[in-house]
Structure formats: C-alpha cells, structure tokens
Amino acid sequence: MSSRALVLFSGGQDSTTCLAWALDRFDHVETLGFDYGQRHRVELDCRATLRRALAAMKPAWRARLGEDHTIEVGAIAQVAQSALTQDMAIEMAEDGMPNTFVPGRNLIFLTFAAALAYRRGLRHIVGGMCETDFSGYPDCRDDTMKAMQVALNLGMNQRFVLETPLMWIDKAQTWRLAEELGGTALVDLIQQETHTCYLGERGALHAWGHGCGHCPACQLRADGFARYAAARSS
Ligand code: ZN
C-alpha cells in the first residue's frame, strides 16, 4: 500500500502535472474525477485523452497507471450558489471571495477521495492545491490540507498522506515542473489538451493553451506560461 496513490484528476493543467508527478514516484497510480455540474464540464472530456497520452509517454508510466474513477457529486450545485455551476458573471463578491468559490469544495472532494482510497488500498492522495497564486480559496491552503489529513486518518483509522506538490510553487514553476517530469512533450500535451477556463470555452489555441483568455483561470494560466516561456528562452 505504501507506494499506491490516488490523484485528484480534473483534466486541468495543475492536476495533469500532479498525475505526471505521481507516475514518476509511485508504483501504482489511480485517478479520480468529480462531476458536480461544473460549467467547465468539458474538462472531464479531456481526462481520457490525457491519461492515454501520459501512458504513451514512458513505459514506466504506462505500467503504473491504474484505474480511472468518476464520482458524481451533483449535490454541490444544490447548496452552492456559485459562478462555477451557474450561468452568472465571474467577479469578486462583497466578502472578498471570487464568486467561483464553492464553499468547502475540496473538503468534500478529499472526503470522497479518502473513502475511495480506503476501498482501493491507496495510501497517498495527490491534489493540485496551491497557496502561492492566491485565488482566495481557503480550502486550498496548506493548513487546511494538514487538518484534513489528520481528520481523515482519525475518522477512517488510516495513515493516508495528502500530497500537494504544487502547494508552494507558482504557475510558471508548475510549467517548469512539467518540463522536468516529461520534457517538452509533456509541456506540449498540457498546453494543447488540458482545460483550465472557468467558462468551459475551448476556442482558439493560444501559446498557453485553449480558453476564453479573460476569466481569472485563463489569465492566471496565460501569465504563468508567459513567465515560464520568458525564463526558458533567456
Ligand atoms: Zn477562460
């Protein structure tokens, strides 16, 4: 069980980098996606393509990549009035939180992930939570993850390890990590096949990937890629 992992895999840039990171160090890696009625549901369609491409990248990665799981948590849309699940403009709310915030979303995801990991005998739970590029989501903070690890281990009588390889790096460094793990082939795959845009727009292929180019997720991704590319060419 010690070298078996479950990756929270949405099909976005961060979770794809996390999946490559996990394939690089664990013997057996399974993936988990959540369907919660998100507007950017297109990201779920990217997952199979990305899994196939990652498996084709290195023989060791092919040998390690295990089952894919999807859990429907449509109830999130019932309790959360969020721009992620409803057709409304993405903006900052009065309490300073972006209205893309779904309260406690990652707490819910991690609880389901741990329950699945328990059943599948997977010790490491890997997620792309990040505190560096401040997005205003308190359920992405390092302290939240550490508290969740304690709560899940107590509540399920396990020794899960919550792994967050992106916690202290910024978006430019996330691109660099992908390059370290899988060279330019992985960078190109992430650029072309992962989905980040909150509005679910695929649209034209920009240097940083597909997306509307205006929503906060697209802006963060575009800015990170520009800094990564500038550092690479200097
Ligand atoms: Zn966008």
How many whole angstroms from 207 Cα to the centroid of ligand 1? 14
Give me the pLDDT at residue 77, please: 76
pLDDT tier at 68 (50, 70, 90 boundaries)? Answer: very high
What gap in Å lies between CA 73 and CA 112, rounded to an integer?
A: 9
pTM of the model: 0.90
Q: How far is CA 45 from the centre of its chain?
A: 14
How many whole angstroms from 84 Cα to the centroid of ligand 1? 12
How many whole angstroms from 23 Cα to the centroid of ligand 1? 28
Task: Write the CA distances from 58 to 23, 50, 113, integer angstroms.
Answer: 10, 13, 26
Long-range contacts of 137-143 (CB under 8 A, 24+ apart): 137/101, 137/106, 139/104, 139/105, 139/106, 139/107, 140/106, 142/167, 142/168
How many whole angstroms from 216 Cα to the centroid of ligand 1? 7
Give me the pLDDT at residue 196, please: 82
Structural domains present in the chain: 4-171 (3.40.50.620)
Tell me what the mean pLDDT of segment 173-179 comes to. Answer: 97
Tell me what the mean pLDDT of segment 113-118 comes to. Answer: 98
The 10s digit of each residue's pLDDT in 8-53 is 999 999 999 999 999 999 999 999 999 887 766 677 778 999 999 9
Mean pLDDT computed over every residue of the chain: 89
Q: Which residues surround ligand 1, an ion (CB under 5 A)?
A: 197, 211-212, 215, 218
Helix (H) or strand (E) holding 6: strand 4-8
The 10s digit of each residue's pLDDT in 181-210 is 999 999 999 999 998 887 777 878 999 999
